[in-house]
């Protein structure tokens, strides 16, 4: 299988694995998908939970009126922009709407968009661009629109 065909097969297998995980009632411990000579294997640490229907991020109270922490729902590398050198999805001080893409998490060459699950203003970006984040790691703090 040539390199271009192999890359296409891997991309399609990864998309199918992502769809399977999104539909699962609970996070699988391990997934192996084979298509001809190509195989994709994914494994999660015990106790990790993915939220079906919200694969990228979830906001949680930051505490003491600090706003909401938008947290990673997968382990991966955090990216603020769609590609190197491009304008970031959001910057501190920007208003965001529910469902707006605010970042990307990359895991095993699969790019998973991070969407805000509520409207707000980006008060602080906590994750460092290009660095790995753990499941549940706070990525940014959102405050309610109109505050601070």
pLDDT of residue 137 exceeding 80: yes
Integer angstrom CA distances of residue 84 from 79, 90, 111, 116, 138? 9, 15, 14, 22, 22
Split at pLDDT 50, 70, 90, the class of 127 is very high
Q: Cα–Cα–Cα angle for 18, 109, 19, nearest 5°? A: 5
Integer angstrom CA distances of residue 125 from 57, 93, 138? 14, 10, 9
CB count within 10 Å of CB 12 equals 13
Q: Quote the pLDDT of residue 34.
A: 72
Q: Can you give the length of the chain in residues?
A: 148
How large is the C-alpha radius of gyration of the chain? Answer: 17
Sign of CA dihedral 143, 120, 52, 35: negative
Mean pLDDT of all residues in 89-116: 92
53-62, 114-123, 139-148, range with the lowest pLDDT = 53-62
Q: Residue 104's closest CA among 135, 136, 139, 69? A: 139
Alpha carbon distance 36, 82 (integer Å): 31
Structure token pair of residue 23: 């539909």
Tell me which range, 11-15, 41-45, 132-136, 138-142, is most confidently predicted by mean pLDDT.
138-142
Domains along the sequence of the chain with CATH: 3-43 (no CATH), 57-143 (2.40.50.100)
């Amino acid at each position: 299988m040539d390199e271009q065909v192999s890359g296409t097969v891997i991309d399609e297998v990864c998309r199918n694995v992502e769809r399977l995980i999104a539909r699962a009632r609970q996070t699988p411990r391990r997934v192996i998908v084979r298509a001809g000579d190509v195989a994709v294997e994914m494994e999660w640490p015990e106790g990790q939970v993915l939220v079906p229907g919200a694969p990228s991020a979830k906001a949680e109270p930051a505490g003491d009126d600090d706003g909401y922490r938008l947290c990673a729902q997968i382990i991966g590398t955090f990216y603020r922009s769609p590609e190197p050198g491009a304008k970031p999805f959001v910057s501190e001080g920007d208003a965001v709407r529910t469902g707006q893409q605010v970042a990307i998490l990359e895991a095993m060459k699969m790019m998973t968009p991070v969407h805000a699950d509520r409207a707000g203003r980006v008060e602080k970006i906590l994750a460092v661009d290009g660095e790995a984040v753990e499941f549940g790691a706070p990525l940014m703090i959102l405050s309610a629109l109109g505050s601070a």
